[in-house]
Chains A and B, each alone.
Chain A
Amino acid sequence: MRLIVLALCLLPHSLQAQTPAPAIPRFADESATAGLTGFYAGEWQYMVGGGVAVFDCNADGFEDMLIAGGENPAMFYRNVSQQGGPLQFRQETAGLEADAVTGAYPLDIDADGLTDLALLRVGENRLMRGLGNCRFAPANADWGFDGGDDWSTAFAATWEKGASWPTLAFGSYIDRTQEAFPWGSCTPNQLYRGGDGRFAAPLALTPGHCALSMLFTDWNRSGQPALRVSNDREYYKGGQEQLWQLDPGAAPVLMTEADGWKRLRLWGMGIASHDVTGDGYPDYYLTSMADNKLQTLESTTAPVRPGYADTAFARGVTAHRPYTGGDLRPSTGWHAQFGDVNNDGLFDLFVAKGNVANMPDFALLDPNNLLLQQADGTFQEVGEAAGVDSMAIARGGQLADFNMDGLLDIVVVNRWQTAQLWRNISEDAGGFAAFRLQQPGPNRDAIGAWVSVRRGDTVTRHEVTVGGGHVSGQLGWVHFGLGTSTAAEVRVEWPGGRVDDWQPLLADTFQILAPGQAPVAFIAP
C-alpha cells in the first residue's frame, strides 16, 4: 500500500517555499523508461484522433491510462509509479484492446464507483464497464447502447437535471465511404439519453459539421450545461462552431445568431476550458491551424448571451507558428488543456502540435506549446525551456499528476511515433491541492461541478467536465496550484445547485470533497 497523504517535508514545492517569482517548470522526458510503447497508427482514417484516457481504475490514487491505437489495438497501461518517483507504467490486458479506436473518455456511467470508458472508434463505438482492478467488459448490449458505424472523433458527457443516467454526445467526422468528393459529407453527431440503466435510441444532432471536440459546459452559469461543439471547416459546408442548448427532456436546440451566437468557422480540433479571466464564466481555447482562439464572453451582463471575443492575440496564446526548431510555417494544434504546471496559482495552457500528414504548407517541425499564464493575464511560451518542445506529430494528450508529487506531468499521443511522457521535476513550484469530488446518486463524480480555490482576494475557478480536448479525457484529480500561499480555501458548487461554504483546504494534499463535508485526505485502500 502506498500512503498518499503527503507530509510537507516530502514535497519539493511545499507551501513553506516563499519564492515569489514566476517559475518556469522543468520536465524530464521519461518516455523511454516509463514503459509506454503505444502509438497511434494508420493512414487516412486516422489522420485525426489519437487520444488518451487517464483514470484511476484500481483506486490507488495513481492515474492509469489507455492510449488509442488507430489501426493497432488500444493499449492499457497500469500506473506503477511510486509517489514522487520516476513515472512507471506496465502494459496489461484490460479488456480495452479494441482496434480502430480514435480516442477514449473515462466516466462512471452506472455510478457503481468503478470507472467506465467510452471508446470512440472508426466503426461501432463501445461503452466499457469497469469491473474493478482495471478490468473492463463490453457493455453496449447491457446498457442498450447503439454504437453506430461512424467515424467518431469527439465525445462529451453530462448528467442532466433530474436524470438517473448520463447523457452522452458522440461527435463524428466525414462519411468515410466518400472518396473523390468527401467534402460536405459530415455525418450527424449523436446524443444518447437514458434511464433505468439503459440508453434510449440516439437523437441525431443535425446538422453535423465534422466535430473534433465537444464539451458539455455551463457557459452562462445557469446551472444547465450546453453542448459546445468545435468543428473542422475542412469538411463542412454551411457549417460553423455550434452550441446546443439542452433542456431536460426536450430536444436539443441549436443556438443561433438570434440568441447572440456569433458565427465562427475554423479548423476546430480541440476545446480547453477554464475561467481564465476570473469573471466566473468559462473561457474556451479552440485549437485550429494557425488560427487558435481564446474566447471570452463579450458581456457578462444579464441575460448573458453567447457572444465571444477572441482574446488569443491580446493574451499571447495564438501559438500560430513554431517558436523553435527553425520551421516558420504555420502550426497545427490538436489537444489543448489548461492546468497549473508550476503551481503558481495561475492555470497555464498546453497545446499538442503536429502536422496532419506531411502537409507542406504547415510546419513539419511543430513543437508542443507550454504557455505559462502570467500575473497580468498574458501567457509566455516556455515549451523549449521546460523541455516539452517535441517535434513528434502530436494529437491527444493530458496533463495529470501521474506520480502524485503535486506536479502536473504530461502525456502526449503521437501519430506513427511512440507516445511521450514528461515528468514534472520542477524544484521551485508552488504548493498545490488536488481534489476528487464524490457525491451520492447517479452523477457520482459530480461532473458539472465548479471547484473554486480562494487565496486571499484571488479566486480560481474550474469546471469539472467530461469531454473536450482532442479525443482525450480524464477522470481524476482536479489540480490547483497554490503559489506561495500558506492558507487557502475551497468551495464546490455541486451539480444541481448546492453550494457549499468556503472551507480551509488541505494544502499539498490529495483530498476528497463531498457535499457538506470538510475535505478528507485521500488514503489509498
Chain B
Amino acid sequence: MKLGRRQVTLGLMSLPFASPRQALAQTAAAQSGLLPPEAVLSQWYRLVLELVRHTATYSPPVASRAFAYLGITAYEVAASSPATGLRSLAGQLHGLTPPPACDPALSYAMPAMLHGAMAAAVMAFFGNTGPTGQRAMAAMDRILGEQVAKDTDPATLARSRDQGAAVAQHMLDWSLGDGGATVVNMGFPYDYPPPQSAADWVPTSLIAVQQTPLLPDWGRNRPFAMPAGQPACGLTLTIPYSAEPESAFYQQAAEVVAIKAALTDEQKLIARFWSDDPMLSPTPPGHWISIAMAILDRDAADLATWADVLARLGITIADAFIACWQTKYDVNLLRPVTYIRQVMGETKWEPLLNTPPFPEFPSGHSSQSGAAAAVLTAIWGEGFAFDDATHADDGLPVRHFPSFAAAAEEAALSRLYGGIHFREGVEAGLAQGRCVGAYTVALQTRV
C-alpha cells in the first residue's frame, strides 16, 4: 500500500472541544484541503452520540454494541496503514476475520477511507433512526465527503471510499451473528415469565411497554474480547434476599431510603450527571465515549490513538453489558423501589431517578464504567485528570475528575444516590467491570 499525501498529515489539525454544530462548522470552514483523518472520526462520532440519543432502539446495551463495532471498523481502517503502527484485531476478537486488504500496488487516502467506512457503518447501525437522523447522516456524508475530496484525484478518492466501505461491510457481516442485531419492540419482549419468588424482579414502570424487562437475552450475545461460551466475570449475590428487618438485605434497602432522605445538592447533581437516560442522553456507553473524545480532542491525539481508544473503549463497554446482563438475568433481583414499598411499607417512596426497567443486580452503569476506567487507565495512565462536559448542552455543569477510576466510582455511587440500586449492586458492578476491562487491556493493538 502506498501512502496518500494526507496519510502523513496526521495530527496537523485538531478541533477544540466544541458543540457538534460548532465543530462541524469549524471543520467545514477551516479546511484548506487538508482534513485530518482523526477529524473525520471525530465528526462522525459526534453525530453518533446524537443518533444514539435519538434512535428509539438505542438502550444502553444496544448502544454499547454499536460503539464496539464502529470503533473496530475505524480501527481496522486505520490499521490498514502501516504508518499508524496499529495491529489488526482480527484473530483477537471472537469471530473477527481479517478485513479486505488494500491493494499494495495502489494508493489510498486515509480520510476518504475512514469517511467511507464510517458513512457505511453509521448508516447501517442507525438505519432505523427517524427522519431527522436520516437527514443528519446524509448531511454529514455530503459535508465530510466534500472535505475529504479536496486535493484528491477522483480515482484515489473513489478507491479509498470503496475500501473503507468494504471494511465496514466486513464488520457488519460479522456483527450479524452475535445475537444482538435484531431489537424488537424497543427491546421489551412481548411475553415474559412472571416472578417465581419474592426476590424476583417485577415491573416498576407505568409505561405499558416496560412491563417486561429490557433485552433479557442480551447476556447470551457473543462477546468481543472476554471469553466466550462461558460466564465471564460473573457475580453472585453475597447479601441474599430477605424480608427480615434484621437482615443485611433489609439494611441495604434502609440505606437507600436513608440516603434519599438526606440527599445533598451535590449528591443530587451526581445522580443526574450520571443518569444518562436513554433517549435523553447518549446513554452510559456514550457518556464514556464522550469523555474519551474530549480528551482526544484536547490533546490533539493522532489517528492511531483515536482508533485505539475508540475501539478498545467500545469493546470493553460492550463486553461489560454482556457480562452484566448475564448476571442480571441469572440473579433476577428486584429493584429498591419494589422492596421499599412492598416489604418496608413505604408505599409512596420514590427514587430520585427513574428506575430502569430490568433487574437490579449488578448495576449496569457501574459495570461498564468499571470496564471503561480500566481500559482508559491502561491507555492514559493512573491519575489522569480530565474534565467531563458531556451534559453541558443539557445544562449540567462540567465535572472534574482526578482519574478514570474516580469517575467510575462516582458513576457507580450515583445509582445509589438515585435510589435505583443497592450498595452491593454498584460495588459488585464496578468489580465486574474491572474484570471485563482486563480482557480488553490484554488485546494487542500495537505492532
Contacts and interface: CB of A to CB of B under 8 A. Distances in A.
A288 B46 CA distance: 27
Given A233-B279, A361-B186, A182 B206 contact: no
Given A313-B206, A356-B130, A290 B186 contact: yes
Interface stretch (A64-72, A124-132, A173-181): A173-181
Nearest to B141: A180
B206 A265 contact: no
Contacts of B209: 290, 320-321, 330
Contact of A328 (B20, B136, B185, B208): B185
Contacts of B393: 184, 237-238
Interface in B15-46: 19-21, 24, 46
A179 B54 contact: no
Interface in B122-147: 127-128, 130-132, 135-136, 139-140, 143
B207 A47 contact: no
Contacts of B395: 237-238
B242 to A, nearest CB: 30
A320 B132 contact: no
Interface string A162-182: 000000000000100011111
B266 interface: no
A359 interface: yes
Interface in B284-343: none
A235 B56 CA distance: 13
A43 B395 CA distance: 32
Given A180-B139, A328-B185, A289 B56 contact: yes
A184 B143 CA distance: 20
Interface in B213-258: none
A44 B136 CA distance: 11
A318 interface: yes
Nearest to A316: B208
Contact of A182 (B53, B132, B279, B396): B132
B1 interface: no
B244 to A, nearest CB: 32
A234 B50 contact: no
Interface string A275-316: 000000000000001110000000000000000001011000
A178 B20 CA distance: 11
Quick one: which of B19, B128, B209 has the most chain A CB within 10 A? B209
A502 interface: no
Contacts of B186: 290, 330, 361
A52 B298 CA distance: 51
Interface string A320-335: 1100000011100000
A3 interface: no
B246 to A, nearest CB: 34
Interface residues of B, number: 35
Given A290-B209, A313-B206, A357 B131 contact: yes
B128 A234 contact: no
B185 A329 contact: yes
Nearest to A290: B209
Contact of B135 (A179, A238, A360): A179
Contacts of A330: 56, 185-186, 209
B355 interface: no
Contacts of A357: 130-131
A362 interface: yes
Nearest to A262: B350
A183 B50 contact: yes
B379 interface: no
B57 interface: yes
Interface string B47-67: 100100110110000000000
A362 B130 CA distance: 10
B56 A179 contact: no
Nearest to A180: B139
A515 to B, nearest CB: 42
B133 to A, nearest CB: 9
B440 to A, nearest CB: 30
Contact of A44 (B50, B131, B183): B131
B280 interface: yes
B21 A178 contact: yes
B190 interface: yes
B140 A359 contact: no
Interface in A195-245: 233-235, 237-238
A265 B278 CA distance: 11
Quick one: which of B127, B132, B140, B279 has the most chain A CB within 10 A? B132
Contacts of A44: 131-132, 135
B185 A179 contact: no
Nearest to A310: B206
Nearest to A185: B21
Given A313-B208, A328-B190, A356-B130, A183 B185 contact: no
A238 B208 CA distance: 25
A402 B356 CA distance: 46
B130 A234 contact: yes
Contact of A183 (B54, B183, B207): B54
Contacts of A179: 135-136, 139
Interface in B101-155: 127-128, 130-132, 135-136, 139-140, 143
Given A181-B24, A233-B279, A356 B208 contact: no
Contacts of B394: 237-238
B207 A181 contact: no
Nearest to B183: A361
Given A180-B47, A233-B279, A312-B206, A361 B57 contact: yes
A291 B241 CA distance: 32
A291 B50 CA distance: 21
Nearest to A174: B132
Given A180-B24, A329-B185, A234 B132 contact: yes
Quick one: which of B47, B135, B190 has the most chain A CB within 10 A? B135
A374 B313 CA distance: 54
A213 B397 CA distance: 30
A379 B279 CA distance: 29
B136 A182 contact: yes
A328 B190 CA distance: 9
A185 B21 CA distance: 10
B37 to A, nearest CB: 19
Contacts of B208: 290, 313, 318, 320-321
Given A179-B136, A180-B47, A183-B50, 19 more contacts: A178-B21, A180-B20, A181-B20, A182-B132, A182-B135, A183-B53, A183-B132, A184-B393, A233-B280, A235-B132, A237-B393, A290-B209, A291-B207, A312-B206, A313-B207, A318-B207, A320-B208, A321-B208, A328-B190
Interface of A: 43-44, 47, 174, 178-185, 233-235, 237-238, 265, 289-291, 310, 312-313, 318, 320-321, 328-330, 356-357, 359-362
22 contacts: A44-B135, A47-B131, A179-B136, A179-B139, A180-B21, A181-B46, A182-B136, A183-B50, A183-B132, A233-B279, A234-B130, A234-B132, A237-B394, A237-B395, A312-B206, A313-B206, A313-B208, A321-B209, A330-B209, A357-B131, A360-B127, A360-B128
Interface of B: 19-21, 24, 46-47, 50, 53-54, 56-57, 127-128, 130-132, 135-136, 139-140, 143, 183, 185-186, 190, 206-209, 279-280, 393-396
Would you list the 5 A-B pairs with minimal beta carbon distance, nearest first?
A238-B395, A318-B208, A238-B394, A179-B139, A180-B139
